[in-house]
Structure 1
Amino acid sequence: MRRLTAALVAGAILMGAASPALAGDTDASRIAVAREMIAAWKSADWRKVADLFAEDGVLRSMMLEPVAGRPAIYARIAALGKGAPDGVTLDVAHIGVIDGLVFIERTDRFVYNGHPGAVPVVGVLDIRDGKVREWREYYDRASLEKALRGQ
């Protein structure tokens, strides 16, 4: 009887872990949000980029001060976007989820103020409940600035 009770309890726990209420954040759902973000950058949909962040989300470009909150994130991205009206293509080399975080190794390609450029980047996104809670961008700032000038 104890074994049966233990088996029923274990089954109930496993079923609870797989229930839709608890299984909303899957690797596939996180990657889907990341791919939405990639598409929004490519189409220069800066509002969509910002709206994919949680209200209190944080954007951390490692060589700059972090930006917190959806309105501030939109302001930074829209200002950057003025120089890249045709969007930014995020050419993904690798994308995956490790310990619940989405890692994207990519090359960002753009035309900024008339100058074509490209820069290698690794982004780490903490996506929960379908929104980006935090996005950390790792890149060489000198390479980015050179690319923005078309050099």
Structure 2
Amino acid sequence: MRFGMLAAALMAAISAPAFAGDSPQQEKSMAKDPKIAVVERQIEAWNTRDWAGAGAMFADDAVLHSMMIEPINGQKAIAERIAQLGDGTESIKLDVRNIGRVGDVVFIERVDRFVYKGHAGAVPVVGVLEVEGDKIKAWREYYDRAMLVREMGLSEDFHKAEGE
């Protein structure tokens, strides 16, 4: 009897998709997800170096938080920070590996590839974005800060150099 139940459970597991995203229908619905679409527009703004557009996609009371430093609060301050980083960025590609959504939160695994003031670099990143309507309410970034600074060709963290 136990063997029969075990065999039935095993057969059900083998015949079921291993992951909900395995079906073409699931992939189509993810592509049309409005919260993921907001994040994809943000990625496109970075990839095209549309710094004003990237900054404008944040809510007035948004928070941008690279987890190793203090958060940046408010759309205006976030837009200013993005513009500052953009000044030295000759090229950038946010190379998305995985993107998905749980509730209002979009998770994105990526490798940021860039040329910053003549220095080519690449840094693996995980971003966690809270999206409300067509705006980003919160963006938390997880990456190796020392690696970013090194890949940018800087001798010290630009955060410290700015006295923040």
Q: Deviations over 1:109-142 (max 9, x none)?
A: 0000001000000000000111000000000101
Residue number among 62, 74, 83 corresponding to 1:57 in the alignment: 62
Residue number among 92, 97, 102 corresponding to 1:93 in the alignment: 97
TM-superposed deviation, 1:100: 2.4
The secondary structure found in structure 2 opposite 1:33 is: helix
Residue number among 81, 90, 96 corresponding to 2:86 in the alignment: 81
The secondary structure found in structure 1 opposite 2:76 is: helix
* Amino acid in structure 2 at the alignment position of 1:74: A
- Specify which structure has the bigger relative contact order, considering alpha-carbon pairs within 8 angstroms and separated by 6 or more residues: 1
Alignment of 1:83-122 (within 5 A): 83-86=88-91, 88-122=92-126
Which residue does 2:150 correspond to in 1? 146
Alignment of 1:27-66 (within 5 A): 28-66=33-71
* Amino acid in structure 2 at the alignment position of 1:118: A
* Amino acid in structure 1 at the alignment position of 2:73: A
Distance in 1 of aligned mates of 2:90 and 2:38:
23
TM-score normalised by the chain length of structure 2? 0.72
Distance in 1 of aligned mates of 2:116 and 2:141:
19
The secondary structure found in structure 2 opposite 1:105 is: strand
Distance in 1 of aligned mates of 2:103 and 2:42:
20
Distance in 2 of aligned mates of 1:82 and 1:49:
14
* Count of paired positions: 123
TM-score normalised by the chain length of structure 1? 0.78
The secondary structure found in structure 1 opposite 2:68 is: coil
Alignment of 1:11-26 (within 5 A): none
Distance in 2 of aligned mates of 1:90 and 1:83:
16
Spell out structure 1 runs of 4+ moving beyond 4 A: none
TM-superposed deviation, 1:65: 1.2
The secondary structure found in structure 2 opposite 1:38 is: helix
The secondary structure found in structure 1 opposite 2:89 is: coil
Q: Deviations over 1:56-111 (max 9, x none)?
A: 1110011111111111001111111111043x211000000023210000000000
Gaps of 5+ in 1: 1-26
- CA root-mean-square deviation: 1.3
TM-superposed deviation, 1:146: 1.0
